[in-house]
Amino acid sequence: MTNLFSSFDPSTIFFSLNWLSTLFGLCFIPSMYWLIPSRWNFLWIKIIMTLHFEFKILLGKIKGSSLIFISLFSFIMFNNLLGLFPYIFTSSSHLVMTLALALPLWISFMVFGWFTNTMHMFAHLVPQGTPPILMPFMVLIETISNVIRPGTLAVRLAANMIAGHLLLTLLGNTGSSMNIIMINILIITQLLLLVLESAVAIIQSYVFAVLSTLYSSEVT
């Protein structure tokens, strides 16, 4: 590697195949999963139904749209977890990928909100109880906070994926200069970090889906 960030460079190995890692999750699901109910099937259905009931409370009047956010959660979680395996390109650590997920969602929420609930969207710009003299500033602040939402969603996911991988890479590069005892400690540390990164991968996909749900619930 020329530098630490070259591990996130899509042009390092097989440029055209790197982004196909986003579809690898489907390859690991056996065909029997779809035909005969299994323990994995029941577990995944339980997760989906739990998310559905949670998102349904947040979404309110918009029926059936929880499937969009459940699919978003599943897609991001597969990509995050696959990125922890060796020689698999971590697509969710790139802003190109995360912005491609966050920006269309945010634009669709804004278009839907301003065209169908215009007065409701205007009311969101000024919190209740704001003094008249502060109203112009509150409109400006609320507008800026609304505009940067897709950026914060995208950067949060990408930054968390990059931080964990960089930490694992930094610790792994120091192994060649250690003695046997320190190498054993390093391996245990790396395993603990992998467990932590697995949890972070699931949590970040959940956070992305929940925040997208909250943003959509504000426009209805």
pTM for the full predicted model:
0.82
Q: Are 193 and 211 in contact (CB under 8 A)?
A: no
Which segment of 26-30, 42-46, 174-178, 188-192 scores lowest on mean pLDDT? 26-30
What is the total count of domains within the chain?
1
Q: Look up the domain containing 99 and give its range.
A: 4-217
**Mean per-residue pLDDT for 140-159?**
89
Q: Are 204 and 76 in contact (CB under 8 A)?
A: yes
**Confidence (pLDDT) at 97:** 87
Each residue's pLDDT tens digit, 59-92: 866 666 788 899 899 889 988 888 888 777 788 8
Place of tokens 């914060």: 152
Which segment of 32-41, 45-54, 66-75, 103-112 scores lowest on mean pLDDT? 32-41
Q: Is the pLDDT of residue 163 over 50?
A: yes
Mean pLDDT of the chain: 81
Which segment of 68-82, 160-174, 187-201 scores lowest on mean pLDDT? 160-174
What tokens does 19 get? 């982004």
What tokens does 59 get? 């979404």
As to burial, measured by CB atoms within 10 angstroms (0-12 exposed, 13-18 middle, 19+ buried), residue 73 is buried
Dihedral class, residue 89 (left if φ above 0, else alpha if ψ from -120 to 50, else beta): beta
Q: Is the pLDDT of residue 1 over 50?
A: no
